[in-house]
Homo-oligomer: A and B are copies of this chain.
Amino acid sequence: MITVAVIGAGNVAQHLILAFQKAKDIQLVQVLARKPKQLTHLLGSHGIVTEYSQLKEVDLYIIAVSDNAIATVSSQIPFKNKLVVHTSGSMELNVLDSKNRKGVFYPLQTFSKAKPLDFSQIPIALEAENESDYTVLETVANAISTQVHHINSEQRKALHIAAVFVCNFTNHLYKIGNDICIENNLSFDLLKPLILETADKIITLSPTDAQTGPAKREDTVTINAHLNFLKNHTQKDIYKLLTQSIIDNGKKL
């Protein structure tokens, strides 16, 4: 039985808490949170502490806080030579205080409090300073997910950037689609089957094979009609840049 403490109360912390509660062979001993109210629906008041001095000795401390708070949080853990990991895609291993053994436990997913997730399908990128610490992380990760990977800091940074493109930027394109619908008295619901199918295609087709649309066909008549229709300058700029990038990609094939 590996004992774990989670530090944090945000989206990632909450989904980790839920996953550990269901996991065999993992004992979630404590959660440390500045804002414990965010967690009472998950834990009751039992198991939540607010002060670092209340932290118990466990096998693994998982810091699930915002990137810029990781260094401070890790320096406040009142132990030495324990295994302490953060959950960030973009932060170096060395942002963690060196009084403890460092590692990374990065679940690659977009977490919203309002939406439940099947953690077993979420890839977890692991990094540790030595083999025995890596084995502990691997055991904990395998207890909640079937997608566990050893990924070094440089690769993790690349993975995080790729995630920004396919998740954050994609969601912003949904926002633009939504805005265009609203401006034209159309329901955004009309676009939802298309959004789901566009994502679903990628499971079986490569993005190059899945590409469709006027840019792929270099259909300049339609492209110009669309640019003419768009009045919002940012939408126009995004349309132009992505269209040109699709056309340039087609020429490389």
Contacts and interface: CB of A to CB of B under 8 A. Distances in A.
A210 to B, nearest CB: 5
Contacts of A204: 114-115
Interface residues of A, number: 97
A16 interface: no
A57 to B, nearest CB: 33
Given A112-B210, A163-B194, A158 B174 contact: no
A162 B180 contact: yes
A42 interface: no
Interface of A is mostly: helix
B245 A161 contact: no
7 contacts: A68-B221, A159-B181, A163-B191, A166-B173, A168-B215, A172-B245, A175-B249
Contacts of A192: 202-203
Contact of A212 (B111, B155, B196, B198): B111
A100 interface: no
Interface in A133-184: 147, 149, 151, 154-155, 157-178, 180-181, 183-184
A185 B201 CA distance: 23
Interface in A4-46: 11
- How many of these chains are in the complex? 2
Interface string A97-110: 00000000000111
Interface of A: 11, 66-68, 90, 108-112, 114-115, 117, 121-123, 125, 147, 149, 151, 154-155, 157-178, 180-181, 183-186, 190-217, 219, 221-222, 225-226, 229-230, 234-235, 237-239, 241-242, 244-246, 248-249
Given A212-B112, A214-B164, A229-B158, A199 B201 contact: no
A161 B229 contact: yes
Please list the 6 inter-chain residue pairs (A to B) with the smallest Cβ-Cβ separation, ordered nearest first.
A168-B213, A199-B199, A158-B184, A175-B207, A166-B177, A162-B180
Contacts of A110: 194, 197-198, 201, 210, 212
